[in-house]
Structure 1
């Protein structure tokens, strides 16, 4: 039987990234995950977490320690099947991070081409 999935084009996705400079990013990531209750359904990876959203889309949070730009903190990548889903994921990420870390500033998102 032929594989019919190869003929189905992958749908367009909307993506944005944000960076939050924090000290001890690994500990801060665990704090966010614990306090926000995001562990359920998330995929633990070596450098962070991938959190799927039930209605579509994912949020990837990655620990950055001294990258090529000298940054240390948390990098967020939101990926949604539509602009509306992307905006929802970005809103949830901002609310959870702000509440967990007690920070009032919002994440500044940049579109990814």
Structure 2
């Protein structure tokens, strides 16, 4: 998953922002102090908790766009901040198209990149 957005600092805390989605970056280990600007947020599908509740540093509700069975796993394509976002789930937890589902993750597992240079932040 790669999402285009921006880094913003609000009251001393960094967030990755895309449309109406604000991902808090308090657990993310920046390589150096970032500056506000365009960025790319990367998260592996297997690092996203599915129907997880709100016990994560970031959680959101998203609508299922596509369900892609892959044998023992299923890839679930969602929209997050207007962009495609994929979650890997076990075949037993497969939702239906158009279902509203909750997702959660810890931004510590993410990678952030400068949108212009491609350098890791």
Does TM, scored on the shorter chain, surpass 0.5?
A: no
Q: Which has the higher strand share?
A: 2
Give TM-score, length-normalised by structure 1. Answer: 0.30
Larger proportion of helix: 1
